[in-house]
Amino acid sequence: MTYIAKPAVRNPALPKNSLGLTRRDYEGKISTLCAGCGHDSISAALIQACFDLDLPPHRLAKLSGIGCSAKTPTYFLGAAHGFNGVHGRMPSLATGANLANRDLVYIGISGDGDTASIGLGQFVHAIRRGVNMLYMVENNGTYGLTKGQFSATADVGSKSKRGEVNIYPPIDLVRLALDLGAGFVARSFSGDKDQLVPLIRGALTYPGFALIDCFSPCVTFNNHEGSTKSYTYIRGHDLPIVDLIPPRQEITVDYEPGARQEVTLHDGSRCVLRKLAGDHDLNDRAAALALIEEHRRRGELVTGLIFLDPEGQDMHMRMNTVETPLNALRYEALCPGAETLASINAELR
Partner 1 sequence: MQKTDITRPDYFHKVVDCQWACPTHTNVPEYIRMIAAGRYTDAFMLNWYSNVFPGILGRTCDRPCEPACRRARVEKEPVAICRLKRVAADLKGEFEHLLPKVPKRKNGKRIALIGAGPASLTVARDLLPLGYETVIYDEHAQGGGMMRSQIPAFRLPVEVLDEEVNLILGMGVECRFGHRVDSLKAVIEEGYDAIFIATGAPRGRDLQIPGRAEAAANVHIGVDWLASVAFGHTTSIGERVVVVGGGNTAMDCCRSALRLGGKEVIVTVRSGFKEMKAHPWEKEEALAEDIPILNWHNPHSLVLKNGRLTAIRFEKVRAEYPDGRRKLIPTGEQVEIPCDDVMLAIGQDPVFPWIEPELGIEIGKWDLPVLDPVTFESTRPGVFFGGDAALGANNIVSAAAHGHAAAISIDLYCQGKDLHQDRLPPGLNLSSQKMGLHEWSYENNYAGTHRIVVPHAKKSVALANIKAEVELGYDVERAREEAERCLNCDVQTVFTPRLCIECDACVDICPLDCINFIADGEGNELRARLRVPATNPDQAVYVDGPLATGRIMAKDENLCLHCGLCAERCPTGAWDMQKSVIHLFQAGGICHE
Q: Decide the pairing of beta strands 105-111 and 60-64.
A: parallel
Q: Least distance in Å: CB of 291 to partner 1?
A: 24
Q: Which of residues 190-219 bind partner 1 (CB under 8 A)?
A: 190-191, 193, 217, 219
Give the helix/strand (H/E) hosting 237.
helix 231-237
Nearer to partner 1, 122 or 216 (CB): 216
Nearer to partner 1, 178 or 218 (CB): 218
Q: Which stretch in 28-36, 120-128, 293-301, 324-332 sits in contact with partner 1 by CB under 8 A? A: 28-36
Give Cα separations from 186 to 86, 108, 177, 241 (angstroms). Answer: 26, 15, 10, 10
Q: Which of residues 216-235 bind partner 1 (CB under 8 A)?
A: 217, 219, 223, 231-232, 235
138 phi/psi in degrees, rounded to 5 = -90, 95
Question: Please, what is the Cα angle at 251 between 183 and 274, to 5 degrees?
Answer: 40
Q: Least distance in Å: CB of 196 to partner 1?
A: 10
Residue 304 gets the label, from left (phi > 0), alpha (psi -120 to 50) or beta, of left
Give the helix/strand (H/E) hosting 122.
helix 120-129
Q: Which stretch in 26-34, 53-61, 271-279, 298-306 sits in contact with partner 1 by CB under 8 A? A: 26-34
Q: What is the DSSP string of 245-283?
A: PPTTHHHHS---TTTEEEEE-TTS-EEEEEE-STT--TT
132 phi/psi in degrees, rounded to 5 = -75, 95
3 binds partner 1 (CB under 8 A): yes
Q: Which of residues 32-51 bind partner 1 (CB under 8 A)?
A: 34-38, 40-41, 43-44
Burial class from Cβ neighbours inside 10 Å (0-12, 13-18, 19+) for residue 345 reads exposed
Q: Which stretch in 6-14, 200-208, 247-255, 340-348 sits in contact with partner 1 by CB under 8 A? A: 6-14
88 binds partner 1 (CB under 8 A): no
Q: Least distance in Å: CB of 225 to partner 1?
A: 13
Q: Least distance in Å: CB of 111 to partner 1?
A: 17
Q: Which residues bind partner 1 (CB under 8 A)?
A: 1-11, 13-15, 24, 30-31, 34-38, 40-41, 43-44, 190-191, 193, 217, 219, 223, 231-232, 235
